[in-house]
Amino acid sequence: MPEVTDEVVVIVGAGQAGGRCALALRSEGFTGRITLIGSEPHPPYERPPLSKAVLKGAEGEAGLFLDPDGGWQGIDLRTGETVVALDCAGRRVITAAGERIAYDHLVLATGGRPRDLPVPGGEHARTLRSLDDSLALKARLTPGLRLAIIGGGVIGMEVAATATELGCAVTVIEAGARVMARILPPETSTWLAAKHAAAGVTVLTGIAVQEIREDSGGLAIHLRDSAGESRVVVADLVVSAIGILPASELVPAANRGPSGGILTDSAGRVPGLAGVFAAGDVAESWNPHLGREQRLETWRNADRQPRAIARSITGEATEHAELPWMWSDQLGHNIQVVGLWAEGARTVARGEGGEMLFWLDDDGAVAGGVLLDRGRERRFLEKLVEGKVRADPAKLADSAIPLKALV
């Protein structure tokens, strides 16, 4: 029988991480009060489908929700409410309505918010972060629509792929030299850009937005490249996908890391704030695999880290050692990335067309890799990375040798 407790857990942020933590607490036998507070009007849901299946109409709202039956196991779910301040000394959160809610344990799962497009006319660009954003964008993606996407990261490229499949005329505008450069090595970026171009997407790299103006033909996006050359792209709709900023303003500046996230130890605890944890996109947590604090904006981190925190609250402190992994589905291809790409790292290609590409650290150990339509190999790649295996590059490149034989 679970131990009966009158302890209170307050979770601020009712996205995937917050919702998963609440449900995991019940799974771990926590019988106390759980209050889950979120600013969106919806119950907790997963975000990856927002730029793909939801836009296509292939997945309805109900399929996104973490608790599709809506019972929430006696959890006090408060949607459409915002926490504006913390009283950590008194162990209370303060809502926009002035309510002060006491806690024994506090989990901050506040996620992030889209970066503003810092140019004149930037307000004309939409963003894609929430379910409502996705549904509003879905209503506009009709055949023939001229869509300009500012930002060639994961969300930008996924929206480009989806909109192209829906018959839109898509232009991607990326200020950097290549698409998805933070995540992918150059070889894979080149492959992906070529796939988009073959599907009809116009991919512009090394060019920055200067201004967006309304005119009679739509929205005129004024661009300038590194050589100072200017051009204008006209669109009916503009989406800004230039990343997110962690919503970490509830904690003091001393508790924020270099990327702006909330600093935590490997168990998700916020040092210096008794009883406070952070999880998901907002958490800049000590990562034993990387040897540093790192924010991970991934589905798996938002799923696993809250579970570890729930175990820490109900029992002993549980370390969360997340090996970075993400995936993206674009234009009929599945891209999986294990580890964090390090610019300039030595790469080793395996198979034709770069279907597997690995990168090595300074000691020659496998530090990460990309799998193109080869998801079944992920568990072996993860073992190579976790074990810091110094595989012979010639064997890594030889597709005749099973990857599992190198583990």
Do the beta carbons of residue 322 and residue 293 sit within 8 Å? no
3-state SS, 297-352, equals CCHHHHHHHHHHHHHHHHCCCCCCCCCCEEEEEECCEEEEEECCCCCCCEEEEECH
- Between CA 391 and CA 349 the distance in angstroms is 13
Q: Given CATH 3.30.390.30, say whether it is the number of domain 342-406.
A: yes
Cα distance between residue 362 and residue 350, in whole Å? 20
Q: Do domains 8-113+245-314 and 342-406 have the same CATH topology?
A: no
CATH class assigned to 122-240: alpha beta
CA trace torsion 336, 341, 346, 352 (10° rounding): 20
* Closest-CA residue to 223 (of 239, 203, 206): 206
Helix ranges restricted to H, 149-185: 154-165
Q: Please determine, for residue 143, whether its predicted confidence score (pLDDT) is greater than 70.
A: yes
Distance, CA of 72 to CA of 26 (rounded, Å): 10
CATH number of 8-113+245-314: 3.50.50.60
Residue 60, token pair as written in the block: 């309805």
Report which of residues 325 and 61 the model is more confident about: 325
Per-residue pLDDT, 2: 56
| Domain range summary for the chain, segments of one domain joined by + | 8-113+245-314, 122-240, 342-406
How far is CA 304 from each of CA 30, 66, 267, 280, rounded to the nearest angstrom? 18, 14, 11, 9
pLDDT at residue 1 is higher than 60:
no
Bridge partners, residue 83, by sequence: 95
**H helix count then E strand count, the chain:** 8, 25
pLDDT tens digits for 219-261? 999 999 999 999 999 999 999 999 999 999 999 999 999 999 9
Q: Read off the pTM.
A: 0.95
Asked whether the predicted pLDDT for residue 317 surpasses 90, the reply is no
Side-chain half-sphere CA neighbours of 230 within 13 A = 6
pLDDT at position 56 is 94
Cα 233 from chain centroid (whole Å): 28
83-96 mean pLDDT: 98
Q: Do 95 and 83 contact (CB within 8 A), yes or no?
A: yes
Q: What is the mean pLDDT of the chain?
A: 96
Maximum alpha-carbon separation in the chain: 71
CA distances from 286 to 48, 155, 246, 345 (A): 24, 26, 16, 23
Residue 351 pLDDT level (bands cut at 50, 70, 90)? confident
Q: For 4-18, what is the mean pLDDT?
A: 95
**How far is it, in rounded angstroms, from Cα 105 to Cα 91?**
8
Rg from Cα positions in the chain:
22
